[in-house]
Amino acid sequence: MKFLLELTASFLVFVIVGLLFAIFYLALQWFLQATDVTADCNWSREGTRCHLNFDIRNHSKSKTYRLASITYSNGVDRLVWFDNKSLAGKELLPASINGFQDVAPVRNSSTISECLEFQVTVRLQSGRKLWLEGQGPGQPLKDGIHRWALQLRNFIDKHAPRME
């Protein structure tokens, strides 16, 4: 009887340790994917038209991403404009910083103050979305976990030894 009890206990320990490693692996993969691409933006004005300038960074060392579209909205349900052409198909090479100043002007907006109220969503071809506020640098996010992951990624990038 003692042998079966020890066998069962060691089996359960191995199962629990295996589950912990699987959970750690899944959390690490989520962390890396959630923080691979970050974006900053600001508004420029040419005449009476306003357009965005993007600084999009690919922190991944091996994965290439492609941009798909930009969505401008006033809140959750109010779509203002959808731009499929400005960024569509542009590549974000691994470990690159890309600046995009040739984004099409936003329709029906003539002042910077109107544009600052927009919530901008940049979509990757993989379906992932980057939410931006047009007021300046940063990537304000709805959930605290994603914000915490980006802060941790920035800390790791800042303090990691350079391999170059």
Mean pLDDT of 112-129: 80
Residue 75: per-residue pLDDT? 64
- Which structural domain, as residue segments, surrounds residue 78? 36-140
Mean pLDDT of 31-56: 81
Mean pLDDT of 75-102: 80
CATH number of the CATH domain containing 70: 2.60.40
Q: Would residue 132 count as lying in a domain?
A: yes
Q: Would residue 27 count as lying in a domain?
A: no
User: Mean pLDDT over all residues of the chain?
Assistant: 80
**Is the pLDDT confidence value at 87 over 50?**
yes
More confident residue, 147 or 136: 147
**Is the pLDDT confidence value at 102 over 50?**
yes
Q: Would residue 56 count as lying in a domain?
A: yes
- pLDDT tens per residue, range 4-28: 999 999 999 999 999 999 999 998 8
pLDDT range class, residue 128, cuts 50, 70, 90: confident
Q: Would residue 113 count as lying in a domain?
A: yes
Vertex 97 angle, CA 93 and 161, to 5°: 95
Q: How many CB atoms lie within 10 A of CB 52?
A: 25
Mean pLDDT of 151-157: 79
Residue 114: per-residue pLDDT? 76
End-to-end Cα, the chain, rounded Å:
59
Half-sphere exposure of residue 118: CA atoms within 13 angstroms, side-chain side: 29
Q: Which residue has the tokens 């006033």?
A: 74
Number of domains the chain contains:
1
Phi/psi-derived region of residue 130, left when phi > 0, alpha when psi is between -120 and 50, beta in every other case: beta
Q: Would residue 2 count as lying in a domain?
A: no
φ, ψ for residue 16 (rounded to 5)? Answer: -65, -45
CB 34 within 8 A of CB 149: yes
**Is the pLDDT confidence value at 164 over 80?**
no
The angle, 0 to 180 degrees and rounded to 10, between the axes of the packed helices 144-159 and 2-34 is: 80
CB 157 within 8 A of CB 35: no
Q: Would residue 58 count as lying in a domain?
A: yes
Q: Would residue 150 count as lying in a domain?
A: no
Q: What's the gap between Cα 145 and its chain centre?
A: 13
Tokens standing for 163? 């391999």
Residue 143: per-residue pLDDT? 58
Q: Which residue has the tokens 């901008």?
A: 120
Give the number of residues written for the chain: 164
Mean pLDDT of 111-116: 76
Rounded percentage of the chain residues whose pLDDT exceeds 90: 13
Model-level pTM?
0.67
The enclosing H or E element of 30 equals helix 2-34
